[in-house]
């Protein structure tokens, strides 16, 4: 059992000190994911990678917030949850920016397939549309939705997703292609 998995297990058993030991082990990887994701955001960004990592980490290890309280099944599960946590934080920030009192009455534009593969310069309305479509995909195919979260919201490569999900890159490529087509179909109908 790896050190991260052991610390996650201790954290689940209520050992609060393990949270402070866990952060240095996962921080660099979480920071890299957050920085890659934020680098692709369009417009003025008020959220920095460090803040995104810290917020996601606090949500993941906090026992006060039942929404994020988990029993970790290992490193893979932790990073999948971190991906979901970062997605939720980014969506919350996008919703705040898009509120009418903050200029959210901008016209909606279609999401192009190139944006789904490389969301550079992504606008808030696109982020929200993808997130809503992703929730619908998760209801029918949770595995494909998890791959999208890891690729789209945290910027992991096919190989990195395969490593996190403990499967082959070929399987991830096939599932990623399916998920993209499914999402594009849903987004074009809206």
**How far is the C-alpha of 58 from the C-alpha of 49, rounded, in Å?**
14
**How far is the C-alpha of 156 from the C-alpha of 150, rounded, in Å?**
6
pLDDT bucket at 129, cuts 50 / 70 / 90:
confident
Distance of CA 81 to CAs 16, 45, 100, 126, Å?
19, 23, 31, 22
User: For 40-74, where are the alpha helices, taking DSSP H only?
Assistant: 49-61
Q: Which of 140, 115, 146 is nearest to 130 (CA)?
A: 115
Which range marks the domain in which residue 51 is found? 3-189
For residues 22-50, average pLDDT: 76
pLDDT in tens, 155-177: 788 998 998 888 999 999 999 99
**Total domain count, the chain:** 1
**Position 40 pLDDT exceeds 80:** no
pLDDT the model gives residue 169: 93
């Amino acid at each position: 059992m790896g050190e991260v998995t052991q610390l996650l297990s201790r954290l689940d058993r209520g050992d609060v000190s393990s949270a402070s030991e866990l952060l240095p082990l996962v921080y660099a990887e979480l920071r890299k994911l957050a920085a890659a994701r934020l680098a692709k955001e369009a417009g003025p960004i008020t959220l920095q990678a460090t803040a995104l990592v810290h917020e996601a980490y606090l949500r993941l290890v906090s026992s006060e917030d039942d929404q994020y309280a988990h029993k970790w099944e290992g490193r893979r599960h932790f990073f999948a949850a971190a991906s979901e946590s970062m997605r939720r934080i980014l969506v919350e920030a996008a919703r705040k920016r898009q509120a009418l009192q903050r200029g959210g009455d901008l016209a909606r534009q279609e999401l192009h397939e190139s944006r789904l593969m490389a969301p550079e310069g992504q606008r808030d309305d696109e982020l929200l549309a993808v997130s809503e479509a992703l929730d619908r995909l998760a209801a029918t195919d949770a595995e494909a939705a998890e791959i999208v979260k890891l690729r789209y919201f945290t910027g992991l490569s096919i190989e990195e997703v395969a490593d996190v999900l403990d499967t082959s890159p070929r399987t991830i490529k096939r599932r990623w292609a399916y998920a993209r087509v499914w999402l594009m179909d849903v987004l074009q109908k809206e």
